[in-house]
Structure 1
Amino acid sequence: MSDRTAVVDKRRSQAIAGGVAGALVFAVLVVVFFVVRSGGDEQPSATSAATTSSAAPVEPAPVGSSAPAAASGSLPAELSKEPDVQPGTGGPLTKLVVTELVKGAGPVVKSGQTVTFNYKLIPYKGGSVMDSSWSRHQPFTSPIGVGSLIQGWDQGIPGQKVGSRIQLDVPAALAYKDQDLRFVVDILAAQ
């Protein structure tokens, strides 16, 4: 075998190895993206709960129409409009803070119920939207208070009324452990 053939074979082997390494790096990045996006081995995020729920999604209805909350009255008109979520001040958060933005008139949500929500999530200190049912044009349905969602939701949503829009300022310890979060959550129905 000539020196030239050996050099060509070596370069070909290096090119193939580089291509395989690049493909492996890409695969690892895709896996990491989906693990981080879904909360890893932590409790599932609202997004993953939406994809695993067997209940049909529910769109917010205008005032006066039939809606999931119809048994308790109509949903407030504010819940038909996507919220503008502003960053928090101060921090880091040391406890869960629940702020009622729109007062609901429906029944009180209880742990163990299946609840339909719209939500929008940003980092507490600000930044781009991390997740939103509004961007998918589809609310999601999940059991509440049973460990299916992050602790901040399981602790902050029971006791609220259907038809409410609430702001949940969730410390990292009650979320995904990496940062404080701010959610604006519309409670559309509870069963």
Structure 2
Amino acid sequence: MPATPSQQGVDDVSERTQENRSEGQGPATKAGRRLAAQLAAQKAAEAKRRRQAWAGGLAGVAVVAVLITVFVIVGQNDDKPANQAGSTSSASASASGPAPDDAVAPPAPQLPAGADPALGSKPKVAAGKGELKKLAVTSLIKGTGPAVTKGQTITTNYVGVFYKDGKEFDSSWNGGQPASFPIGVGQVIPGWDQALVGVTVGSRVQLDIPGELAYGNDEAAAGGRPTGPLRFVVDVLAAK
């Protein structure tokens, strides 16, 4: 049955209302949503850039702080006094031990007043010439001190070598300490007892001693001591 006019008008209004609702969900509304999404994305990107810039600024400040610390430490080291650096070097050198020359060089002996400075150095002793038959005393340096008397204790530096080839067998210099002993009372070899009484303090003398006035000529009887003729160079440093 066909609709009446009034019903037809109602139907027309209803159709237009539905169209208007469809138009509200049309292209204009979708464009708005896209615009809102773009704005949100821009805001998020801007916030990310701000965070990155802030982080970069903090990193830059940290680098500057590290550089300043390094410069301060270097400046403090440069400002150390020269004597402090020298003492450190001296402390590192002592911890590593003496130099090779210092390790083998004995200390200089205490010389008597007015003595020849040559007594501060170890003499070089050469071999003798020819056959040695008797005790011989040769003055190398004449001391100005009192003469040694029998029974005194004398302090000496000495070098002992074999008369025939000059090979050293004993020396007080190697130990760095002078030797002290009574003289003229049988405490040393006869050649020393006879030759050193009367020598003045501060003297250096060469003693050429036959085997019989030294340790003898028999190696078996000498007990490992040097035998045969011997040569000594003796410095008399004191007599008491």
TM-score (norm 1): 0.62
Q: Is 2:173 the partner of 1:124?
A: no
Deviates more, 1:158-167 or 1:126-135: 126-135
| Cα drift, residue 60 of structure 1 | 2.4
Q: SS of 2:168's equivalent?
A: coil
Q: Corresponding residue for 2:189? A: 150
Report the number of matched residues.
Answer: 124
What is the correspondence of 1:106-185 to structure 2 with a 5 Å cutoff? 106-178=145-217, 179-185=228-234
CA–CA distance in structure 2, aligned partners of residues 89 and 141 of structure 1:
30
Q: Percent identity?
A: 51
CA–CA distance in structure 1, aligned partners of residues 108 and 121 of structure 2:
11
Structure 1: runs of 5 or more not aligned = 1-57, 62-66
TM-score (norm 2): 0.50
Q: SS of 2:119's equivalent?
A: helix
Letter in 2 for 1:182: R
Larger Cα-atom Rg: 2
Please tell me whether the aligned partners of residues 157 and 173 of structure 2 are also in contact (alpha carbons under 8 angstroms): yes
Runs of 4+ with deviation above 2 angstroms: 58-61
Q: Is 2:238 the partner of 1:189?
A: yes
| Pair 1:59–1:147, CA change in 2 (3 A) | farther
CA–CA distance in structure 2, aligned partners of residues 131 and 102 of structure 1:
21
**Where is the helix percentage greater, Structure 1 or Structure 2?**
2
Please tell me whether the aligned partners of residues 59 and 139 of structure 1 are also in contact (alpha carbons under 8 angstroms): no
Q: CA RMSD in A?
A: 1.4
CA–CA distance in structure 1, aligned partners of residues 144 and 124 of structure 2:
22
Q: SS of 1:130's equivalent?
A: strand
Structure 2: runs of 5 or more not aligned = 1-106, 218-227
Please tell me whether the aligned partners of residues 60 and 75 of structure 1 are also in contact (alpha carbons under 8 angstroms): no
CA–CA distance in structure 1, aligned partners of residues 178 and 199 of structure 2:
18
CA–CA distance in structure 2, aligned partners of residues 127 and 189 of structure 1:
27
